[in-house]
Structure 1
Amino acid sequence: MKRIKLSLYSLLLVGALTSMSSCKKYLDNELKNGTYDNVYWNSQQDIEAAVNGGYALYRTALQNKNAFFIWGDLPAGMYATESSYLKNVPESGDFKTSYYEDACHDWTNWYRIINQCNMIIDKTAQLPASKFKGAGILSPEDVKNSYIGEAYFLRALAYFSMVRVWGDVPVQNSPIYKAEDIKIKARSPQDSVLNLVMGDAQSASALLHFSTQDGSRADKGAALSLLSHVSAWRHKYDQTATYADSVINQGGYQLEPAATLGRLFKTGGLSSETIFALSNNDANGESNPQSSGFSIPMAQATGITFTDPNQVPLYWGAAATLSTYYKTDENPDPNKDARYKTYFKLKSGDKYTFLKYSDVVNKSTAGSPLYKDQSPVIIFRLADIILLKAEAQANLGQDGAAMTTANIVRARAGVDPFVGYSGQILKRAILAERIRELTGEGQNYFDMLRTGFYPNWLSSQDRQQKQGWLWPIAKNIFNNNPLIVQNEWWKGKY
């Protein structure tokens, strides 16, 4: 299915969405799409535009102020920064980052995604299959179901993202078309939310097919990858192994060779290893303002004009920290590891710049500074799922099989295999392998939480008892919804 530009109606729809926790007055001002309700949802083109709008909303929620990196990597401790707003995050887990409050503490953008998906599911189901055109081996009914499957996937992904960041969250699975549809809701227990996530992801898997697309839209492999992650988060590792096997054996994905490993993060096309990623291509209407592009903080320290990807960045890796992961008993020379050579470059003193997001094409015009293309942000890729399978096997007591699986990724990196590991030592080794492989992709901190190998700042019993690994909820959420209470650790602190 060819990506098309958003129609006028879809742009109004995307701009009008708001979280169910917002006040009625705000909604009265913002919910403009009701005017177009009878004319917008009448064709495949309308549904296509709405689905594209869902992906655009997800891109905004994840990349806004680099939230995916600040949530998923910075607290894990591999990176340092001199930012007065973020310096304490990797050093002590102090998340009092007021400057980034709107992006990292506010879940409003995530409920915009959810409501967009609710409307797509509702309205697409009402259209007859005759409104859709078949594509390849897909019948018109298959194409219709694929749109619904993508909406289920995005909704599941949004809830899963929120649960990992904030824990208990409100559930709003009825579409909001006008202010009168708003119902103020309290937070639901995260386990019940995860039940919904699993259900949505299973529905997505049933409705979607493995595709030959470039990974910029969800297919069956993306849904199964999400199921692999959610089941691992819940420590249901028998399910994780089953879902991961389906991705590995049926999806047609291939590991990128070590010689071209950097291709995973190049603009203009995604690798055959990519399962699902946020592309940032101008041709698809995905240009980013230079003030929000992730390449800035990762590739340079200040300013909005991209000049040299080898400048000392806002976020940088310290030599001593990197050597902890890339210099090991099996691999005493970190330069032997293809990932170390591809992902990092020494710039100044002991500061290493991070190169995964350094592929940028500038499209600046007077008064309109833009990045034409940027490196994609990978959500799921084959190496991730292979290592998740290894983690599952290790937790199921299948130590030999776990080493064999993990060694597939290690072989691609050019390092010696794991031999003779077992129990907790093996589990920790697989976690370290995930950190080496997936660093900077928004996974490492959540990997630590899932496996129980916490960063040092999270070791106190008091913090763990009060779920101090979660992020605080923005104060404006409480103003709009009196049923919401702050996360336990942050009461009186934020």
Structure 2
Amino acid sequence: MKKIVMCLLLACAATACKEDILEQYPKGSLSSGDLSNKTAAEALVVASYALLDGVYNGPIETIFNPASNWSYSDVRSDDAYKGGGGTGDLGELNSLELGIIAPDNSLIERKWRALYFAVARCNKALKSLNSVPDAGFPEKATRIAEVRVLRAHYYFELKRHFYTFPYLDESVVEGQEGKVANTLTSEQLWQKITDDLTAAALVLPPTQTDLGRVNKFVAYAYLAKVNLYQRKWAETITAADQVINSGQYRLQANLEALYSDPNVEHGGENIFAVETTVTDGSTTSGLLNWGDLLTSPPGPAYGGGDHFHRPSQNLVNAFKVDANGLPLLDTFNNSDLSPSATTVPVDPRLDHAIGRPGITWKDFRGEVYGNNWIREGATYGPYSKKKNIIYVNSPLRAAQGFPWALGALNFPLIKYSDLLLWKAEALIESGGNLEDARALINQIRTRAANTPPVLTLNGAAPAATYRIGTYPTAGWTQAYARKALRMERRLELCMEGHRFYDLVRYGDAAATLTTYAQQETPKRPFLSAFRFTANKNEYLPIPQNEIDRSGGVLTQNQFYR
């Protein structure tokens, strides 16, 4: 089923990494003289995929450096609290949550290093590919294009986290990487990322034999994302249409399955994902999403859990609806939805995404989610992340205990629903066809209305009062459409590592998060220490250790000087 990921462990072993990532490439059992052959080149390509999960120095490092970005995005936004065993549990993350962001934070350094290990693998793969003769290697151009998409992804992550960074490609002489400064402008860095994706899209085939390999439409989807971040609306629409018109992607009909069942993850909604696998469902683990290990609840379903990444009351409130099943765009946070409320009408996506007291948990029939599932409830409230956690009874779980809720459930990096909302946003912001934007948003809301609802434990009835409607044409102005689009992104994509970056893109991070902290602090007193400094906290600082190692080649980004 997942052919490419079965090769990742072998490929990773062939490219073991060295300490000073800006000083030289990772070294391993393959010497430079070994790389000019197809076998070595193919192994290095697969190794470039391997770091999509962020595992650059063993699973423990990745637990604190999740590919899902929950700790770098959701916890820094109004969607989630840090969670865990109290504010002192993983204090570096508590600092990020409160806006206390410093260049010596170890989580920031882990993010930087993981991404540069990945870039180094991509560049080593490209050097190898370029050195292999074309004869006898018909896949060569495709493999080069795959690696360019992967490199663009890793650099995109550096761009939205750190703003500036040294751009290293395969032309840099080995051993000279640490002499490359971060002097390119923001526009130049975006162009480098765009160039990789554009070139790859022209070469990649529409489909690949191996599941997990990027294809032409992954490149176009990423082009849409990169253009969206630059507010290039026409280019966003053009790239998104390449994917939409391909006919290869669609909305998954069952949201619970989309978030829980590895058997549907190649069904058309996940355009690009971190691929995972287990060997046979026993205690022997395969390639897992270690970055989300900490996020499962400690109740009986999974035999334990650390309960980080906890949904905020503000996010829960956002799922309340009016009589027509539409969001309360301006007033959703005027009152709190009671944790166990089942008669107040809510968007049905609430109970697919968030664990609430008294509500059934996926396919677990031992009991409903309750107080014994909740860690540090007095600090972080009663809710749990429910989305993108494997079914309790899935044969593709890694084990029935530790590592808790991990298994062969891919983590989506780009979903079709996300792409539809990018196009809708571009139409709205450009003053384009507002009716087309409304249709795209309603397509997603219709899917939510038609998906099987969460049921009571005995399966006899819906677990709560669910109501969702579509937006009418009347009153659909640009200003209203903008509000609706931004709320739809929050409801549809919550707890998937998008929210903070969206707020930064909108230019709303400072205002939204300051108001959020003021309103949330009476319920969560630890947020009284929250501060957001505009034109600073939108990005992370370059790690001080990396600046020190560079001997003055690297300079701090403009926000933290």
Asked whether the two chains share a fold, i.e. TM above 0.5, the reply is yes
Match of 1:322 among 313, 316, 331: 316
Indicate whether 1:451 and 2:456 are aligned.
no
Measured at CA, do residues 227 and 167 of structure 1 come closer, stay the same or move farther in structure 2, by a change above 3 Å?
same
What value does the CA root-mean-square deviation take over the aligned residues? 3.6
- State the Cα deviation string for residues 375-402 of structure 1 (Å, max 9, x = none): 3211011100001100000011132221
Match of 1:405 among 426, 440, 449: 440
Measured at CA, do residues 203 and 344 of structure 1 come closer, stay the same or move farther in structure 2, by a change above 3 Å?
same
Aligned to 1:376: 410
CA contact (8 A) 1:121 1:151 kept: yes
Which secondary structure state, in structure 2, belongs to the residue aligned with residue 185 of structure 1? coil
- How far the C-alpha of 1:456 sits from its partner, in A, is 3.6
Indicate whether 1:483 and 2:553 are aligned.
yes
Aligned to 2:491: 436
Question: Hey, what's the Cα distance between the residues in 1 that align with 2:167 and 2:541?
Answer: 18
CA contact (8 A) 1:146 1:208 kept: yes
Indicate whether 1:345 and 2:355 are aligned.
yes
CA contact (8 A) 2:79 2:315 kept: yes
The one-letter amino acid of 1:490's match is: Y
Indicate whether 1:5 and 2:7 are aligned.
yes
Indicate whether 1:47 and 2:41 are aligned.
yes
CA contact (8 A) 1:287 1:372 kept: no
Aligned to 1:56: 50
Question: Which deviates further from its counterpart, 316-325 or 146-155?
Answer: 316-325
Structure 1 stretches lacking a partner, 5+ long: 133-139
Question: Hey, what's the Cα distance between the residues in 2 that align with 1:18 and 1:486?
Answer: 21
Question: Hey, what's the Cα distance between the residues in 2 that align with 1:174 and 1:217?
Answer: 21
TM-score, normalised to structure 2, is 0.73
Which secondary structure state, in structure 2, belongs to the residue aligned with residue 380 of structure 1? strand
Aligned to 2:420: 386
- State the Cα deviation string for residues 277-316 of structure 1 (Å, max 9, x = none): 0022124998358xx83443221269xx98358x782222
Aligned to 1:150: 146
- How far the C-alpha of 1:73 sits from its partner, in A, is 1.7
Please list, as runs of the form range in 1=range in 2, the aligned pairs for 1:176-215 lying within 5 A after superposition: 178-179=174-175, 182-211=178-207
CA contact (8 A) 1:295 1:374 kept: no
Measured at CA, do residues 97 and 183 of structure 1 come closer, stay the same or move farther in structure 2, by a change above 3 Å?
closer
Aligned to 2:536: 467
Measured at CA, do residues 462 and 110 of structure 1 come closer, stay the same or move farther in structure 2, by a change above 3 Å?
closer
- How far the C-alpha of 1:96 sits from its partner, in A, is 5.2
Measured at CA, do residues 329 and 322 of structure 1 come closer, stay the same or move farther in structure 2, by a change above 3 Å?
farther
Match of 2:325 among 331, 345, 350: 331
- How far the C-alpha of 1:206 sits from its partner, in A, is 1.0
- How far the C-alpha of 1:473 sits from its partner, in A, is 2.0
Indicate whether 1:300 and 2:334 are aligned.
no
Aligned to 1:94: 100
- How far the C-alpha of 1:256 sits from its partner, in A, is 0.3
Aligned to 1:287: 286
Match of 1:358 among 380, 389, 395: 389
- How far the C-alpha of 1:417 sits from its partner, in A, is 1.4
Aligned to 1:118: 123
Question: Hey, what's the Cα distance between the residues in 2 that align with 1:72 and 1:387?
Answer: 19
- State the Cα deviation string for residues 412-469 of structure 1 (Å, max 9, x = none): 11121123232233212211111111112221211111122325466699933x4331
Question: Hey, what's the Cα distance between the residues in 2 that align with 1:112 and 1:459?
Answer: 35
Match of 1:266 among 258, 261, 276: 261
- State the Cα deviation string for residues 80-136 of structure 1 (Å, max 9, x = none): 23433234544x4333597x624566512212222222222232133233323xxxx
Measured at CA, do residues 97 and 362 of structure 1 come closer, stay the same or move farther in structure 2, by a change above 3 Å?
farther
Which secondary structure state, in structure 2, belongs to the residue aligned with residue 327 of structure 1? coil
Question: Which deviates further from its counterpart, 63-72 or 338-347?
Answer: 63-72
- How far the C-alpha of 1:175 sits from its partner, in A, is 5.3
Aligned to 2:457: none
Measured at CA, do residues 395 and 320 of structure 1 come closer, stay the same or move farther in structure 2, by a change above 3 Å?
closer
- How far the C-alpha of 1:405 sits from its partner, in A, is 1.5
Which secondary structure state, in structure 2, belongs to the residue aligned with residue 211 of structure 1? coil
Aligned to 1:135: none
Measured at CA, do residues 456 and 7 of structure 1 come closer, stay the same or move farther in structure 2, by a change above 3 Å?
closer
- How far the C-alpha of 1:163 sits from its partner, in A, is 0.6
Which secondary structure state, in structure 1, belongs to the residue aligned with residue 542 of structure 2? coil
CA contact (8 A) 2:12 2:50 kept: no
Which secondary structure state, in structure 2, belongs to the residue aligned with residue 479 of structure 1? helix
Question: Hey, what's the Cα distance between the residues in 2 that align with 1:249 and 1:479?
Answer: 49
TM-score, normalised to structure 1, is 0.82
Aligned to 1:164: 160
- How far the C-alpha of 1:357 sits from its partner, in A, is 3.1
Question: Hey, what's the Cα distance between the residues in 2 that align with 1:56 and 1:306?
Answer: 30
Aligned to 1:137: none
CA contact (8 A) 1:13 1:32 kept: yes
Question: Which deviates further from its counterpart, 412-421 or 352-361?
Answer: 352-361
The one-letter amino acid of 1:123's match is: S
Aligned to 2:72: 71
Question: Hey, what's the Cα distance between the residues in 1 that align with 2:9 and 2:347?
Answer: 47
- How far the C-alpha of 1:237 sits from its partner, in A, is 0.4
Measured at CA, do residues 115 and 126 of structure 1 come closer, stay the same or move farther in structure 2, by a change above 3 Å?
same
Question: Hey, what's the Cα distance between the residues in 2 that align with 1:423 and 1:372?
Answer: 42
Question: Hey, what's the Cα distance between the residues in 2 that align with 1:214 and 1:124?
Answer: 19
Structure 2 stretches lacking a partner, 5+ long: 57-61, 327-342, 358-370, 372-376, 450-467, 516-530
